[in-house]
Amino acid sequence: MTSNIIEFIYQDRIIKVRNPDPNETLLNYIRTKLKKTGTKEGCAEGGCGACTVVLGELKNNEIIYKTINSCITFLPTLQGKQLIIVENLTSANGSLHPVQKAMINFHGSQCGFCTPGFVMSLFSMFKNYTKYEDNIIKDSIAGNLCRCTGYQPIIKAAKSLKNKNKTDYFAKNKKKTIHLLKKINNKSIEIYHKGKKYFAPRYVHELKKILKNNTNSILLSGGTDLSLTVTKERKDINSIIYLNSISELNYIKNNNKYIEVGASTPLIEFENYIRKYYPDFTQILKRYGSVQIRNVATIAGNVATASPIGDSLPLLLSLNAQIVLQEFKKRKILFLDNFFISYRKTKMKKGQFIHSIKIPLFQKNTFKAYKVSKRFDDDISSVCAAFNLEIFKNKVKNVRIAYGGMAAIPKRAFFCEKVLSNSVITSEIIKKARHALERDFKPISDMRASGIYRMEVAKNLLEKCFTEIQQKKLIGVYV
Ligand SMILES: Cc1cc2nc3c(=O)[nH]c(=O)nc-3n(C[C@H](O)[C@H](O)[C@H](O)COP(=O)(O)OP(=O)(O)OC[C@H]3O[C@@H](n4cnc5c(N)ncnc54)[C@H](O)[C@@H]3O)c2cc1C
Ligand code: FES
Ligand code: FES
């Protein structure tokens, strides 16, 4: 069944919007149509968290609460979800939510501009966790910027929540909300609005047909890259095909040889899964944007952007990942090594989409990855590096090294790899390998870093990798 009406839950009611503008942001809708102005606009690019709202989604008969940046969320993607904004936390008789009370008690607000965003991030933490450890608190608010408080009062407010009764209004109303979510959760969307089109299929077979008939449409997953075309470049996107509505593409499979990640799997789910196999992958993803970004952004979206500073890309290159490209009838599998052509250009053709990504499991190897950025959280890399090494008795048997931020595309360090392969690790070899990076890369200078700095960092990360391996006694002391 296809519909041109999007339906979502707001204040315990199903709200229906017929043929909305596919480019309208949720933030705009909240402020101008719902006429609720608690949710603020700071940057309009997902970077400050002032616009944070929470979405309730049904998973295995439970409601999962996710923070998102409403400034970079297109309204139609709300289909089938519950929208919670800061005004909804206060009950009808005016009593505040425990999170709001904590922010007041610990002086977590000064000018107040960032406060609704922080409250929503803490509300989501309150709903999703039972223990509020330091790392959980910091992760939860890493996507919210405050110019005034210096963060400590906000962190104290978050810590104080541990003794609070968790039965809030939303917990009491859970059954009713689940009932409403089930009522609206099952249709594909097709919108036509003043010459603009928006499709949100529910199944891969529907997607294939839509894509075949609309080859000029733009694919939308988490929208954390694409939406900026509208909010920053002020352009319209005339035809959108939304992929995150397809639950068939939201999966992680593992056959002990490789992990396969479906295209619409949010990064937040993947970051938790991959920890067991490649802990450094998780460490990098923890510093990828913010929880708001990772709740919706996908690894497929990251690959498709082909950004030279896309964080997952050097990691996937070093792990020899494969991209499963699907079109109407055919399926192609490409090594990521062969996928990037030039700056933000890939081998993907019109009518194709990334179905999934396959990541081999190297049982015997050591995998290490590093990200260097100006700001620790919520910042794009200046340099990102990944090392996948098979080491036996101080000798490197196999090696794959890849860097981001060092060339127009994420790229392997072939000369450096050549120096290291089949070599016994010595200080002299490391020195040669450092030097070889100069043949591999000629990094540019831009607002994030100078070329000279990037090269020095790349060399130092290589050395850091081997120093850490040595410290873990995977190799003997090299001289
Ligand atoms: C505040 C902020 C912080 C960020 N921080 C980081 C960071 O730390 N590291 C980093 O690497 N990136 C970062 N990004 C960039 C962005 O989050 C990533 O590029 C993200 O992975 C894009 O995924 P998405 O699902 O949101 O893609 P979308 O924005 O939906 O799409 C991006 C592109 O990929 C195409 N596409 C999407 N899915 C598919 C598919 N299945 N098949 C084919 N094409 C597809 C789209 O057409 C579009 O061209 C940040 C962005 C923001 C706004
Ligand atoms: S307004 Fe800054 S993240 Fe949305
Ligand atoms: S209280 Fe002023 S920006 Fe946070």
How many whole angstroms separate alpha carbon 149 and alpha carbon 400?
44
pLDDT at 330: 94
pLDDT of residue 110: 96
Task: Indicate which atom in ligand 2 lies nearest the CA of residue 70.
Answer: 4
Centre of ligand 2 to C-alpha 281, Å, is: 26
Q: Which helix (H) or strand (E) holds 208?
A: helix 204-213
Query: Do the strands 196-200 and 239-242 form a parallel or antiparallel pair, or are they unpaired?
Result: parallel
292 CA: nearest ligand 2 atom: 3
Q: Which residue positions in the chain have pLDDT lower than 50?
A: none
Q: Whose CA is nearest to atom 3 of ligand 2?
A: 46
64 lines ligand 3 (CB under 6 A): no
| Residue 55 confidence (pLDDT) | 98
The closest alpha carbon to 242, from 262, 214, 218, 265, belongs to: 218
pLDDT at position 165 is 85
Question: CA triplet 312, 275, 292: central angle to 5 degrees?
Answer: 60
Report which ligand 2 atom has the smallest distance to the Cα of 51.
4
Residue 264's SS3 state is coil
- The tokens describing 41, both together, are 């606009």
Cα separation, 53 vs 30, in Å, equals 10
The closest-lying atom of ligand 3 relative to the alpha carbon of residue 112 is 1
Question: What ligand has the least distance to the C-alpha of 103?
Answer: 3
Sorted by sequence, the CB contacts under 8 Å of residue 329 that are 6+ apart come out as none
CA of 421 to the centre of ligand 2 (A): 46
Residues in the chain: 479
| Mutation choice for ligand 1 from 229, 248, 267, 305, CB with most ligand atoms inside 8 A | 305
Instruction: Render the burial of 198-208: b for 16+ CB within 10 Å, e for the rest.
Output: bbbbbebebbb
State residue 304 phi and psi, 5-degree precision: -65, -30
| Cα–Cα distance for residue pair 341/348, rounded to 1 Å | 10
Are 110 and 148 contacting, i.e. CB atoms less than 8 angstroms apart?
yes
State the pLDDT at residue 479. 55
Distance, CA of 82 to CA of 210 (rounded, Å)? 27
Distance (Å, rounded) from C-alpha 306 to C-alpha 225? 11
Q: Measured between alpha carbons, how far is residue 172 from residues 85, 163, 168, 176, 177 in Å?
A: 18, 18, 6, 9, 10
* Mutational pocket test of ligand 3: of 104, 106, 113, the residue with most ligand atoms within 8 Å of the beta carbon: 113
Residue 146 beta carbon below 6 angstroms from any ligand 3 atom: yes
Give the ligand with the smallest distance to the CA of 148: 3
Q: What are the helix (H) ranges across 295-397?
A: 299-305, 312-318
Which secondary structure element, helix H or strand E, spans residue 322, and what is its range?
Answer: strand 322-326
User: What is the residue with the minimal CA distance to atom 40 of ligand 1?
Assistant: 354
How far apart are alpha carbons 422 and 70 in whole angstroms? 51
**Per-residue model confidence (pLDDT) at position 186:** 77
Mutation to probe ligand 1, out of 211, 221, 235, 383 (largest number of atoms < 8 A from CB): 221
State the ligand closest to the CA atom of 307. 1
| Cα–Cα distance, 322 to 237 (Å, whole number) | 29
The answer, yes or no, to whether any atom of ligand 3 lies below 6 A from the CB of 114, is yes
Separation of alpha carbons 170 and 89, rounded Å: 9
CB 430 within 8 A of CB 462: yes
Is the CB of residue 448 less than 8 Å from the CB of residue 380? Answer: yes
Pocket test for ligand 2, best of 29, 40, 68, 69 (most atoms within 8 A of CB): 69
Residue 185: per-residue pLDDT: 65
Contact 193, 19 (CB under 8 A): yes
